[in-house]
Structure formats: C-alpha cells, structure tokens
C-alpha cells in the first residue's frame, strides 16, 4: 500500500511555494520522494524559499517566474525539463486575494485577481500537458477554495476566479483523461498561516478577534486548520493511489461546507 503513495522519481512543480500552503505541499512531496521545483515572482522570495527547504533537508530547485506571463512560463517549463526532468506533478498554488466590496473594486483590480488565480493555472497547465502526454501521464492539482462553492462579502473577484478554476479542473479532466492525466482540485478551509495570524490574535480584553469567532462558529472542528493537514490529500492526489480520481475537488475544510453553523444562543 505504501508504494501506491510513493512519489519516488517524480518531478513536481508547485507554483508560489516559497512559503505557506505551497511550501507545506511541496515539503510533503519531497518526503514522499519527489524532486521539488517551485517559483515565485521575486528573487528574494525564491531565496527565502530555498533557505526554508534547505533547513528541512530538502534540495529544491527555485525559479523566478510570473505565472501570468505565458512566455515566462514556457521558458520556466523548458528550463525545468532541461535541468531536472519532465514535470510529472503540477500544483497550481500561486494566488492572490483582494478584499474589496464589489462596487468599490475597479475592473483592473478584478482582472488582476482573475489573471493570477484563473488565467495563470490555465497557462501553466497548458505548458506542462504536452510533455505529460508524451511521457504517458501526469497529475495536475489546482488549489481551489471553499469560494469555489460559497460567496462572501468583499471577495467577488476571488470567488469568481476560484469557481472558474473548479470548472477548468473538470475540463482538463474531460479533455486529457484519455492520456492518463488526472486533474483534481484541493479546496482548503481557513488555514493557520502568517497572513491569517492577525485574524487569530486575542484582543486587548482577551476575547477572540471577530473573524476568528466567525470561523470557529462555522467550522465543526471548531479550529483553524494547519498547512500540514493538506499534505495527506495533496500526496494522495499526486500519487498512483488516485489514478481513478479525476475532475474532483477535495475540500479540506474541517467540515465547513457540510455545516449550516451554530444556532444562536
């Protein structure tokens, strides 16, 4: 059974994996035997990521690349193929969010979120699929969101992008499943990251931050999730164990999507 979950000999590209969710997933892949490649938009972020991987004993390959730029992405994939090998596993992790009420958001701001969160996964997937076909298969994992299913104030662009990414996931499955390419998504819940730390800090009077209280009340697990809790699902979807799973979004959310929330007292 352990052999099915092994990523030994595989080359994995995880976009935007200098830190956070992408870093946790890439680190899990390395422990499962994969060779890790990652990118970020600035050299300083790539250097920070390389140092963090090295601290864990992982010899990762880091590259500067803007995933919204098709020429840069094509050059990145060609470089990885030349220096490391054909990409067996792609995780489209890079993403942004702008929390702005819809009527206050400019069209340019909306387009930027769509560009990074939806157009970029299309661009990167399109760049790796031809070599996956030649090699006889591959795994593409898109980091979706609960916003693929739910709406919430101030995240119109993000929800639109993640809903689109869910359908792109299903369409890649539909078009390329015959080539032994499985494309699935992971929909994380609310994760403990440096970005969410301010939302989890206790207030001066010792009470929870209002958003922290909101998340706890909406999550059956009654807690924020840890990045490493995405490792198991991510390894599963990258391994032979999931060869019959295609076009699926696996929500790792502590049960939020199954729960209407606590009844007011």
Residues 6+ apart with CB under 8 A from 104: none
Two tokens at 41? Answer: 């938009």
Instruction: Name the burial class of residue 75, with classes exposed (0-12), middle (13-18) and buried (19+) by CB atoms within 10 angstroms of its CB.
Output: middle
Q: Report residue 113 as tokens.
A: 């979120």
Edge-to-edge, what's the strand order for the sheet holding 138-143? Answer: 61-64, 35-40, 11-15, 89-92, 138-143, 181-188, 249-252
Q: What is the largest CA-CA distance in the chain?
A: 61
Q: Is 100 exposed, middle or buried (0-12, 13-18, 19+ CB in 10 A)?
A: middle
Catalytically annotated residue among 29, 158, 190, 251: 158
What is the Cβ-side half-sphere exposure of residue 265, based on CA atoms within 13 angstroms? 1
Residue 243, CB-side half-sphere exposure with 13 Å CA sphere: 10
Catalytic status, residue 158? yes
Which residue, chain included where needed, has tokens 């301010």? Answer: 198
Q: Write the DSSP string, 125-177.
A: HHHHHHHHHHHT-EEEEEE--GGGT---TT-HHHHHHHHHHHHHHHHHHHHHG
Q: Which residues pair with 64 in a beta bridge?
A: 40
Torsion sign, CA atoms 66, 98, 253, 160: negative
Catalytic annotation, residues: 158
């Amino acid at each position: 059974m352990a052999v099915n979950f092994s990523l030994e000999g595989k080359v994995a590209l995880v976009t935007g994996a200098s830190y956070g969710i992408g870093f946790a997933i890439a680190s899990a892949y390395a422990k499962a035997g994969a060779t890790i490649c990652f990118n970020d938009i600035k050299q300083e972020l790539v250097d920070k990521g390389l140092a963090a991987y090295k601290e864990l004993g992982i010899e990762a390959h880091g590259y500067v690349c803007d995933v919204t730029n098709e020429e840069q992405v094509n050059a990145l994939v060609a470089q990885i193929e030349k220096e490391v090998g054909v990409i067996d596993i792609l995780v489209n992790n890079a993403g942004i969010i702008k929390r702005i009420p819809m009527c206050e958001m400019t069209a340019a701001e909306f387009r930027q979120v769509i560009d990074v969160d939806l157009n970029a996964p299309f661009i990167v997937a399109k760049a790796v699929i031809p070599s996956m076909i030649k090699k006889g298969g591959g795994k593409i994992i898109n980091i979706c969101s609960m916003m693929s299913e739910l709406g919430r104030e101030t995240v119109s662009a993000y929800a639109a992008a993640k809903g689109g990414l869910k359908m792109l996931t299903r369409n890649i499955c539909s078009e390329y499943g015959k080539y032994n390419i499985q494309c699935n998504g992971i929909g994380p819940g609310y994760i403990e990251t440096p970005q969410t730390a301010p939302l989890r800090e206790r207030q001066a009077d010792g009470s929870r931050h209002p958003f922290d209280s909101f998340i706890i009340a909406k999550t059956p697990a009654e807690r924020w999730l840890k990045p490493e809790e995405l490792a198991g699902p991510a390894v599963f979807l990258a391994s032979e164990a999931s060869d019959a799973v295609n076009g699926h979004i696996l929500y790792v959310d502590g049960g939020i999507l199954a729960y209407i929330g606590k009844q007011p007292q």
